[in-house]
Chains A and B, each alone.
Chain A
């Protein structure tokens, strides 16, 4: 149980394109989802916390207008990288969590974004 599906797994697109990444909890309802960014050989950096039905909470230094997050249902959150540029190339990972203070996060497989 607790499977998180992330789509697409890899995206290659031209500079200036907007890219949407989907994160779905397949067998549970996730009131909270998280979006991370991982640079090569580095840790996962939390970008934002996404709560169903409300605005996402962004970490310091993350541009909310650049990285649009929508959590429209209890099983789906989307991250849209708007007008992507080469510096946005990275590995983006989502996770989902059941409500409650003792619930761990369950992670998707990640999306490799390459901007040419």
Chain B
């Protein structure tokens, strides 16, 4: 079965620290990849997405992610986090067989807590 795994369930960082959140998926075919963020009390928002081309994608708020096909990974990074980055982060994939409907398979989420 297709699945998405996020290795870090709860991450605590100090401001200005660097961030990397792991995401791996299990699917043998082509996928579209996403990172969503959910700030406290708000809805899910798209941080960035990968469909094709340059495997290093840049998103909003200084976030970036790198697709490594051989590792089935799509890790999220930010060089220097801020207190306002405190949120829940979700990795998600759409298998290409579902590209017409855009069906998303989510990871279990990572809670990021940034200490001021």
Contacts and interface: CB of A to CB of B under 8 A. Distances in A.
B42 A105 contact: no
A105 B104 contact: yes
A97 B44 CA distance: 14
A4 B44 CA distance: 11
A43 B104 contact: no
Contacts of B105: 46
B106 A44 contact: yes
B105 to A, nearest CB: 7
Contacts of B102: 32, 34, 97, 101, 103-105
Interface residues of A, number: 24
A109 interface: yes
A66 B104 CA distance: 22
A106 B107 CA distance: 17
Most A Cβ at <10 Å: residue of B44, B46, B100, B105: B44
12 contacts: A4-B43, A44-B44, A46-B104, A49-B101, A93-B44, A101-B102, A102-B51, A103-B102, A104-B102, A105-B46, A108-B43, A109-B43
Interface of A: 4, 32, 34, 42-46, 49, 51, 57, 93, 95, 97, 101-110
